[in-house]
Amino acid sequence: MLPPSALSAAPRAYQTLLLFGATGDLAQRMLLPSLYGLDAEGQLSDATRIIGTARSEHPIEEYRATARAAIEKAVEPERLKPDALDRFLARLSYVSLDATDTGGYARLAEAIGGIEAGLAIFLSTAPSLFEATIEGLDKAGLTGPTVRMALEKPLGSDLASSREINDAVARVFPEPQIFRIDHYLGKETVQNLLALRFGNLMFEPLWNAQGIEHVEISIGETVGLEGRVGFYDDTGALRDMVQNHMLQLLALVAMEPPARFDATEVRDEKVKVLRALRPMDVEEVKKHTVIGQYVAGAIGARTVPAYAEELGKPSDTETFVALKAHVDCWRWHGVPFYLRTGKRLPFRRSEILIRFRAVPHSIFANRGAVLQPNALLISLQPDENITLTLMAKRPGLDREGIRLQEVPLDLKGDVFADTRRRIAYERLLLDLLEGDPTLFVRRDEVEAQWEWIDAIRAGWKANGMKPKPYPAGTWGPSAAIALTERDGVSWRE
């Protein structure tokens, strides 16, 4: 580990950002538009430089033209300012690099120049190239106390491979300089969950097993493979979505109040939750998990093929997973957490549903009124929103009984109509440049997530579990419905 004095000597806002995978889909759709948005609002200093690198050869002007096209496609027309776009593109340069070619890193270092003013590296590459890339950077002098390393997933395919990657990075970068990305943590509504819980007295006294009946986390996608054929078939829904995004959301819902909002305190509380996840043995995996794979069906008016047809061969990879989890601690004793994610579902939807317990006694029962338990719905996509449903009386003279109805209280975007909804990567890239790791994932979190996921996958193998078919455009296999309904719970659809 570097001494604290070496780390504190680094500038807060780093002046050079190095983007690996600079011609890839992530860079085109998210990173370049996010950086343009920051620059257009004056969040980048005049000295900030952005250097892209990838295997393919591109003259700088050709790369800038590609970046312009990507930004013009992704950014709303009203936010495209010719002067701002030209200024941003002038920050960009490009260096081709084969990650396995040691000599290429010297050319990269020459293009970057000195790193005394700070270098932030965004590494988005195949896991098999992590070690070679880190070694090349180190030999070229692109490491040290003034360099931060951001790692985009996937960080391994299980606990063992994740440790290999983390060990390779840790040989060169101490943990305070490593920024592991889960872009869900950059979403405004995810951060608002912390504000909701810890900034309002009314929620926290009920945020426990006495007040909450169950928690439901769903991430639904309407897309199929969409160009990720090789990666997805080797990964599946459990490792692609549950291991990172969904377990991070679960940790934020279930964590204890941190002493303060800083990286150490927040991540300490999250890792406690992840370590408290009840391990599943072989029998529990069989009982508490459901896996599926979509067959041909329809989404809206569009007919879509089966997964195996898109893949071009039979496969046992799951495109859907539903599971029931428990957090073994006093706060959450007996509260089930239901997690569900899949491809080719009816709607694109990411949300957290907190279902509170029913009132212990209804004073309105003798008047024929039916009470529904309160619910807090936190929507992450496609629209970010928070909705609290309360019971209220419908207007009327009540000659035939009191009529009560669920009424939503919404925190919609128009509450903050003067504030632009940002791409999650805008926040994360700015935090990387400024050195704030609060919304990034620490190594012990990643390893706790993998340990829990590996036990589930081992249970699938021991039980000989194969994905159950479900038609595209539905909410997964019928067994997923039974998973919750035997507890008297229905998924929100």
Is 287 labeled as ligand-binding? no
Is 183 labeled as ligand-binding? yes
Cβ proximity of 215 and 255 under 8 Å: no
In 3-state terms, what secondary structure has residue 290?
strand
Question: Can you list the alpha helix ranges (DSSP code H) found in 356-467?
Answer: 424-434, 443-463
Cβ proximity of 12 and 117 under 8 Å: no
Give all strands (DSSP E) within 204-243, no chain letters. Answer: 212-220
Residue 452: other Cβ atoms inside 10 A:
20
Could you confirm whether 245 is annotated as catalytic?
Answer: yes
From the candidates 245, 288, 326, 333, give the one annotated as an active-site residue.
Answer: 245
Is 55 labeled as ligand-binding? yes
CA pseudo-torsion sign 158, 164, 167, 172: negative
Residue 6: other Cβ atoms inside 10 A:
13
- Nearest Cα to Cα of residue 410 among 197, 189, 209: 189
- Beta bridge pairs of residue 149: 121, 178
Is 167 labeled as ligand-binding? no
Instruction: For 157, list phi and psi in degrees, rounded to 5.
Output: -120, -5
Is 221 labeled as ligand-binding? yes
Cβ proximity of 476 and 196 under 8 Å: no
Adjacency order of strands within the sheet including 349-356 = 404-411, 385-393, 375-381, 349-356, 212-220, 337-342, 320-325, 289-295, 468-471
Instruction: In whole angstroms, give the CA distance from residue 158 to residue 471.
Output: 29
Is 73 labeled as ligand-binding? no
List the structure tokens of 117.
Answer: 């003013």
Is 349 labeled as ligand-binding? no
Residues with a catalytic annotation lie at 245
Binding residues for substrate, by number, are 183, 187, 221, 240, 343
Binding residues, by number, are 55, 153, 183, 187, 221, 240, 343
Binding residues for NADP(+), by number, are 55, 153
